[in-house]
Amino acid sequence: MNSIIDEIIQEMLKVLDNSQLIQLKQVLKEKLGNNTQSNIKKNNESYISDYLAAKQVEGCSKKTIDYYQATLKMMFSHLKKHAQKITTEDLREYLGTYQQSRNSSRVTIDNIRRIFSSFFSWLEDEDIIIKSPVRRIHKVKSSAKVKETYSDEDLEKLRDNCRNNRDIAMIDLLASTGMRIGELVNLNQNDINFDERECVVLGKGNKQRIVYFDARSKIHLQNYLAKRKDTNSALFVSLHSPYQRMSINGIENRLKSLGKKAGIGKVYPHKFRRTLATNAIDKGMPIEQVQKLLGHERIDTTLHYAMVKQSNVKIAHRRYIG
């Protein structure tokens, strides 16, 4: 019986919207003797709330959850339709209007499209809608930009402009581990294993992983900690009393200041991460190991971080192809 109903619904997909399809499915079930009740129709806010709860269980960060919520609420506010009545054309019109009114990049628009895709696919999985209206909205193509990395000279300039043990230890740790800035600020002194030159960080989705640092980082970290006079358990703290744990903004501002002194444009924490990935791949580290090192779930993400040097492509061509 259910297979017949599904065939009928499939035939009507191009004619009816989700709300109408759900009503049709319910009528067919009632008339054909299957009285199973469909999901109770909720308002959009309830669907958003349920969806975000599911994403939270999956391990999404609060920052990600907040971004998803703001994006979905803005869309519903503009369309003024129930989720079951939203069509592909509605979403295309919204994305087009959004891009024009805000002069948004293609990357931004595709990020919004991905959130819509995730949300409506979840509604489909929960049998709240029959078919996601985002299925026919394809990925927004954008030109691949070569993202900047630090050169060896840049890193030495940054180190030369450090006037305290904390800053040079911080730069060395970022450069040798490739950890995220959020992972760095959460580190405590007892998280550091100097014998093995490694530490455990808490990454995205509350997942732990081990990262490794070099001998230079070990020496500078030990020098910094040996001269600390405070009792704060945090690995990096402010230079003056009350010696509070450094925040993300605090580290970003400090790096920006050091970059300005060194005459280096665009100095920020994430650039260390991209530099590590690029250098690792450039020197022959298998991409799967780089993925593990950076804590990426998908290898595609790792490839976006890394930029293989053109000179090495030329050398590899001569070596393998002739």
The neighbour count for residue 184, using CB atoms within 10 Å, is: 21
Give, in order, the Cα–Cα distances in Å from 290 to each of 144, 183, 207: 21, 17, 17
Catalytic residue among 131, 166, 180, 218: 180
Q: Give the C-alpha separation, 110 to 113, whole Å.
A: 5
Active site includes 296? yes
Is residue 270 among the annotated active site residues?
Answer: yes
82 part of the active site: no
Pairing of strands 198-202, 192-193: antiparallel
Catalytic member of 159, 197, 204, 261? 204
Residue 200: helix, strand or coil by DSSP?
strand
If we measure between CA atoms, which residue out of 141, 158, 129 comes closest to residue 269? Answer: 158
Give CA–CA dist 56/50, Å, rounded: 10
Question: Is 273 assigned a catalytic role?
Answer: yes
Catalytic pick from 113, 131, 273, 274? Answer: 273
Catalytic residue among 29, 147, 270, 304: 270
Q: For residue 42, report the phi and psi dihedrals to the nearest 5 degrees.
A: -105, 175
Active-site amino acid positions:
180, 204, 270, 273, 296, 305
